[in-house]
Amino acid sequence: MTTGATTRRAAFDLQAAVRRDMHDNGFSPDLPADAAHQLAGITAHPVPNDTAGRRDLRALLWSSIDNDDTRDFDQLEYIEPLDGGAVRLRVAIADVDALLPAGSPLDRAAAANATSVYLGVHTFTMIPEALCYDLTSLRADADRYAVVVEVDIATDGTIAHADVYPAVVRNRAHLAYPSLGDWLEGHGAAPPAVAANPALADQLHAQHALAQRLRAQREAHGALELETIEATPVVSNGTVTDLALVRDNAARRLIEDFMIAANLGLGRFLAARHRSALLRVVRTPERWPRIVQVARAAGDTLPEAPDSVALSQFLARRRAADPDHFPDLSLTIVKLLGPGVYAVTPPNGADAGHFGLAVSDYTHSTAPNRRYADLVMQRLAKAAVAAAPAPYDDATLGTLAQHCTEREDAARKVERLARKQAAAVMLAGRVGETFDAIVTGATPKGTFLRLVHPPAEGMVINPPPHIDVGDRVRAQLVATRPDPGYIDFRIATH
């Protein structure tokens, strides 16, 4: 049986499968001829000597924090103290628009896909790798154009002032989430770049303190602090050997806190100038009654009407009481909250809210190498800075909002399918085994679950009545079909 399983794993071509998945879901993995011709004419980044109209901030101690294998660096961070205990946070965002003018062939190709798609065995970048991995990437030890979002944070963690301006920056150190997180949490050695530079160590400690201040302020206002499990396939010599978990840590939380602050700052900058914006919205959850049931099953109580503060406090209690299973609870809440969407807020329009963050005027703007909505926001911001007409009217923004929402939904679908295909290949030799699992979906289309280890997802055959999201079960593996990404389970114990 082991030999047969190995043959099946070797025979299934994951690379070919994910490319087919991309096509099947409306993506174009290959660059059109006119965009390729434009790319061939871009031979160097325009920044080295030209700082006209930009602040020269290359002397600041900028650093990036991302995954170990990241190459498309979208943002850098730097903070400095202000009088009275306030702190100025600067987030430098790659000026992708500088090399991708709106309406150009490369821009049209980026708009069509609207997002990078991360599939574990391959990444399909929104813009060509020569740009997002190099010429528009804020990589270490290179001068780059950027759009800086500057926010002043008061002692209570609120944003007291926001500004936006073009700049020239230089990344002084690329740091990785795992090693930096261990160091910030006090159970790991300083990364080499930090150990060699006491000023950088001081900067990062100060950034960690500011991130905690920002998070405490959001939590007090009802922001939901969730911790979901992200799994990516581990491939060795063409064979899927495991699903690797990405765990939350202090470095990841720092970047999350800073990006939320920058996105809020840009939204408020545009609102203060009576400019339309493309906002990220998570509406009040329709499945709140089920969230109430989940809390009740955990021995807690939530109000009958949706209340983000009450939900945030419930989650904090559960994290403290049962940290090992908190990611499972987080996954349940994420599923019940529903996905975010893009929406247009016109000048002087009503604020659009984000239930999960308990804020309004929240944008996506810090990843223009990876998301087209962020590139749109960058162009809106640059026009506002220059007091120039907006590059998009509200009708066009509305169309872009719908398109970016649909493409990001499609990307999540492809990413889920790729994970399932990889998991099906890996589990092919374990049919008949029983696993601990959590129910992650219960819809008219079917009932779905995720194994605790390995964190593979699949469908339940003939689910028992009354099973619902958040239920913990024992599941027997019935069958795997890698090509469609099907993994079938039977509930052994509910």
The predicted model gives 77-85 an average pLDDT of 96
User: What is the reported pLDDT for 494?
Assistant: 72
Token pair 């992708």 is found at 96
Most confident range, picked from 98-102, 191-195, 351-355: 191-195
Residue 48 confidence class, pLDDT cut points 50, 70, 90: low
The predicted model gives 166-173 an average pLDDT of 96
Reported pTM: 0.86
User: What is the reported pLDDT for 42?
Assistant: 86
Token pair 């109209």 is found at 53
pLDDT in tens, 285-320: 888 999 999 999 889 999 999 888 899 999 999 989
Query: What's the whole-number average pLDDT of the chain?
Result: 89
User: What is the reported pLDDT for 8?
Assistant: 41
Residues 6 or more apart in contact with residue 445 via CB below 8 angstroms: none
User: What is the reported pLDDT for 1?
Assistant: 37
User: What is the reported pLDDT for 45?
Assistant: 55
pLDDT in tens, 416-472: 888 889 899 889 889 999 999 989 888 788 999 989 888 888 999 999 988 888 888
pLDDT at 53 over 90: no
Select the more confidently predicted residue: 127 or 445. Answer: 127
| From 8-17, 44-53, 140-149, 158-167, the region with the lowest mean pLDDT | 44-53
CB 334 within 8 A of CB 226: yes
User: What is the reported pLDDT for 470?
Assistant: 82
User: What is the reported pLDDT for 416?
Assistant: 85
pLDDT at 20 over 80: yes
Residue 338 confidence class, pLDDT cut points 50, 70, 90: confident
Most confident range, picked from 36-40, 308-312, 355-359, 374-378: 374-378
pLDDT at 4 over 70: no
pLDDT at 491 over 90: yes
User: What is the reported pLDDT for 7?
Assistant: 39
pLDDT at 2 over 70: no
Token pair 């027997």 is found at 476
- String of b and e for 169-187 (b: at least 16 CB within 10 Å)? bbbbbbbbbbbbbbbbeee
State what percent of residues in the chain have pLDDT above 90: 65
Select the more confidently predicted residue: 190 or 241. Answer: 190
Residue 200 confidence class, pLDDT cut points 50, 70, 90: very high
The predicted model gives 198-210 an average pLDDT of 98
